[in-house]
Amino acid sequence: MKNEIIKKIESILEKKKISYENLKFLAGDASNRKYFNIKIKNKDFVLMYDDNPESLKKFIQISKVLLDIVTIPKIFLNFKVNDILIIENFGHKKFSNIINCSNQNFLYSLATDALIHVHKQEIEHNLNFYDENKFTSESNLFFEWFLQKNESLKDKSKIDFNNEFKAFIDLLENIPKVFIHRDYHADNLFFIENRKKHFKCGWIDYQDALVGPCAYDLVSLTQDARIDVDTQIERKIINYYLKSFSNINPTEFEICYKIIAIQRHLKVLGIFKRLAARDNKKNYLVHIPRVIRMLKKNLNNKEFRPISKILIPLLNHD
């Protein structure tokens, strides 16, 4: 599949009369989106390939929204009708590649500075809201894919869970609605040394952005499905964020943070199992024990007892 895509890219670049060298696969993610290193006129760029036209369209639209607010890759060549964008190369200092015990406090604080800056802006956009239907459809992925081998459990437990969880989703109205990246974790953030303040944090993969609860991206960052984040760092980051927003009630924020964590971990468990079963992408299965641990940690609060009673036996059953 990768070779077929490379051949397609080479054919398009030839038709566009783009002189290039060193076209090499860089990275792919859970979607069909693929990234390639490419050199044009002795300068390094990233070629983004995505055969979902709507996804590329959204990436371009949201890039215009975020321009000058945070660091995003500049778009140098737009061949969206051919599924290709040539974008700025942020280099090799992706957070997930460089994070360690000595720099994690700095890097997570930097990523939080970028969120704080965005959340303080009045951003003009036409983004959809992260509403109850969207929220519920995502957590339902857990029941539909994580429990796919347990048909007898799947339907009843999904109904029981959604009946109980609705009251918690309603609580998210108690915190501000802001621009949310929706996949704000160490694989989508870059450290860019030669910039100032929060602009040192470069963002990618924001094409699925919505307007939603302000705690969402913070949860993605500090309860990362792919890497372990020290619990002391997580606590520091939550406190650091709250210091910048006197209008947010810390108690309400904390409960919303946990609600979002529960929803997101259910969604991720469903997605990782779906990637393995449907798309033969089994490399994500290694992260499932971490996600289950984080989900159980969030459920271990007395206010979540009604949903914990439903979910814990399902997690242990699988």
CATH number, domain containing residue 212 = 3.90.1200.10
Q: What is the pLDDT of residues 106-137, one digit of tens each?
A: 999 999 999 999 999 988 778 999 999 999 99
Q: Yes or no: say if 208 and 128 are a contact pair by the CB < 8 Å rule.
A: no
- Write down the pLDDT at residue 30: 58
Q: Based on the domain organization, do 40 and 106 belong to the same domain?
A: no
Q: Based on the domain organization, do 33 and 119 belong to the same domain?
A: no
Q: Based on the domain organization, do 61 and 130 belong to the same domain?
A: no
Asked if residue 218 has pLDDT above 90, the reply is yes
Which range has the worst mean pLDDT, 49-53, 146-150, 169-173, 308-312?
146-150
- Per the listing, tokens 């003009």 go with 124
Range of the domain at 296: 95-317
Q: What is the pLDDT of residues 234-249, one digit of tens each?
A: 999 999 999 999 999 9
Average pLDDT (37-46) is: 93
Q: Based on the domain organization, do 46 and 157 belong to the same domain?
A: no
- Write down the pLDDT at residue 82: 87
Which ranges of 226-317 does DSSP label H, i.e. alpha helix? 231-243, 250-279, 288-299, 305-317
Average pLDDT (51-56) is: 88
- Write down the pLDDT at residue 126: 84
Q: What is the pLDDT of residues 65-95, one digit of tens each?
A: 999 999 999 999 999 888 899 999 999 999 9
Sign of the Cα pseudo-torsion (265, 270, 276, 280, in order): negative
Asked which of 88, 104, 129 is the last residue of a domain, the reply is 88
169 closest CA partner among 129, 205, 196, 206: 129
- Write down the pLDDT at residue 4: 82
Q: Based on the domain organization, do 214 and 75 belong to the same domain?
A: no
Which range has the worst mean pLDDT, 21-30, 152-161, 305-314?
21-30
Q: Based on the domain organization, do 11 and 151 belong to the same domain?
A: no
pLDDT band (50, 70, 90) for residue 37? very high
CATH number, domain containing residue 54 = 3.30.200
- Write down the pLDDT at residue 317: 62
Residue 48, classed as helix, strand or coil, is strand
Three-state DSSP string of 99-125: CCCCCHHHHHHHHHHHHHHHHCCCCCC
- Write down the pLDDT at residue 265: 98
Distance CA 202, CA 75 (A): 14
Q: Based on the domain organization, do 48 and 103 belong to the same domain?
A: no
Q: Based on the domain organization, do 35 and 100 belong to the same domain?
A: no
Asked which of 34, 66, 88 is the last residue of a domain, the reply is 88
What is the count of structural domains for the chain?
Answer: 2
- Write down the pLDDT at residue 154: 81
Asked which of 47, 73, 88 is the last residue of a domain, the reply is 88
Distance CA 176, CA 183 (A): 19
Q: What is the pLDDT of residues 137-170, one digit of tens each?
A: 999 999 999 987 767 778 889 999 999 999 999 9
Q: Based on the domain organization, do 80 and 145 belong to the same domain?
A: no
Asked if residue 97 has pLDDT above 70, the reply is yes
Q: Based on the domain organization, do 191 and 263 belong to the same domain?
A: yes
Average pLDDT (264-280) is: 95
Q: Based on the domain organization, do 77 and 204 belong to the same domain?
A: no
- Write down the pLDDT at residue 298: 97
How much of the chain exceeds pLDDT 70, in percent? Answer: 97
Average pLDDT (205-225) is: 96
Q: Based on the domain organization, do 195 and 267 belong to the same domain?
A: yes
Mean of pLDDT over the chain: 93
- Write down the pLDDT at residue 1: 56
Which range has the worst mean pLDDT, 8-12, 220-224, 282-286?
8-12
